[in-house]
Structure 1
């Protein structure tokens, strides 16, 4: 089986829940993916779901060389249960010099180690998911995306005080420091908001702003 090559390809090391989900999604998005794992059962399980899967050990530079790791523009280290393996794989990929490395961390100290040895991006899937769900559970938020600088974009149900009024009339930005970016009404396409946009009871609103301000706004009755 020919393996994918080229600047658009992604190498995914580790077929646990995080790595496998990421590899499958990347393929669905049209990215050429090569997934690798040391466990034969996982390789077998995903061989029918992913186009390119190999049994190989990323802690060994020889294995990475054999799969052509340096040919990929992006490499994802999805190994998290073994700190030693995660660090060795990341260090090997750094030594290759080519791929942009995304590495999964299971703790803050783990993440700091990965950053120090050269990982370009460190992600904390469980921590990030927990924080996101907490925001959703805590109020009327339906979806929540937070950025590194404390800025967030959310989808939420509108507070009663803005229902029936245009955005100019409710003056949300002046009162709460957040911006209504758009409105989605039932049975209608999403529309970008302007001063004359009127919010109804059954609408969903897309709101941007600082996380704390959005939380305060979303907790309005």
Structure 2
């Protein structure tokens, strides 16, 4: 099982600790505030009060032994950058960092952060896509050009199979799952029958997904 360390217990970091707890993942939760450390003591395997931008402190925590370290205090850009830099230099396997803005993102990218997270921006995109289209109920950006979306099947798709629709050939995107009620069919076979109201989980280039949404659904 993975061992994870979350450095910074603000809204984002604290929420991560709680989710890891529900998933049974061993978590070290660290913050410079003793109040925040106490707030999450019931959810983390270990909680420690410390300033993690100090390299000696990180070594004392045995941070190099963790599979993943999340630097979640994006508001303090200097501390975020120094901590991420120390973690990479110490050879931590995976370092994920929360970015406050595009400049912060570029610096984290330069020093080798393995994944850079923009929680507010990512959530704003998901909400905006949902508002912009009645068909799209969720949107996850994979890269600048590729995404996964959940699209509600309309009358056009009712009682048709994936063979009938031939979505990959016509639109260039792929259906990787179909949710019908509470059941989710992952990697559906070509002759599965789609019903109105089913949720199609579609992956592909944004251009192709938009075309499928406009014409095919």
Smaller-chain TM-score range?
A: 0.7 to 0.9
Q: Distance in 2 between matches of 1:149 and 1:134?
A: 16
Corresponding residue number in structure 1 for 2:84: 90
Deviations, residues 38-80 of structure 1 (Å, cap 9, x unaligned) = 0111111111232311110012222212221122222111011
Matching residue within 104, 125, 128 for 1:131: 125
CA deviation vs aligned residue, 1:152-199 (integer Å, no higher than 9, x gap):
222221133222333333343343333333433336553643443332
**1:113-132 to 2 correspondences below 5 Å:** 113-132=107-126
1:70 is the counterpart of 2:67? no
Which runs of 4 or more aligned residues in structure 1 lie more than 6 Å from their structure 2 counterparts after TM superposition? none
Q: How many residue pairs align between the two structures?
A: 215
Match of 2:212 among 201, 214, 217: 217
Match of 1:186 among 168, 181, 204: 181
Flag the 1:74–1:164 CA change in 2: closer, same or farther, 3 A.
Answer: closer
Asked whether the 8 Å contact 1:146–1:211 carries over to 2, the reply is: no
Matched, 1:43 2:37: yes
Shift of 1:210: 1.5
Determine which structure has more spread, i.e. the larger CA radius of gyration: 1
Aligned alpha-carbon RMSD (Å): 2.3
Following superposition, the deviation at residue 25 of structure 1 comes to 1.8
- CA 1:199–1:17 in 2, change beyond 3 Å: closer, same or farther? same
- SS in structure 2 opposite 1:190? strand
More strand by share: 2
- Cα contact 1:105–1:122 (8 A) shared by 2: yes
TM superposition score normalised by structure 2 = 0.86
Q: Is the 8 A contact 2:31 2:50 kept in 1?
A: yes
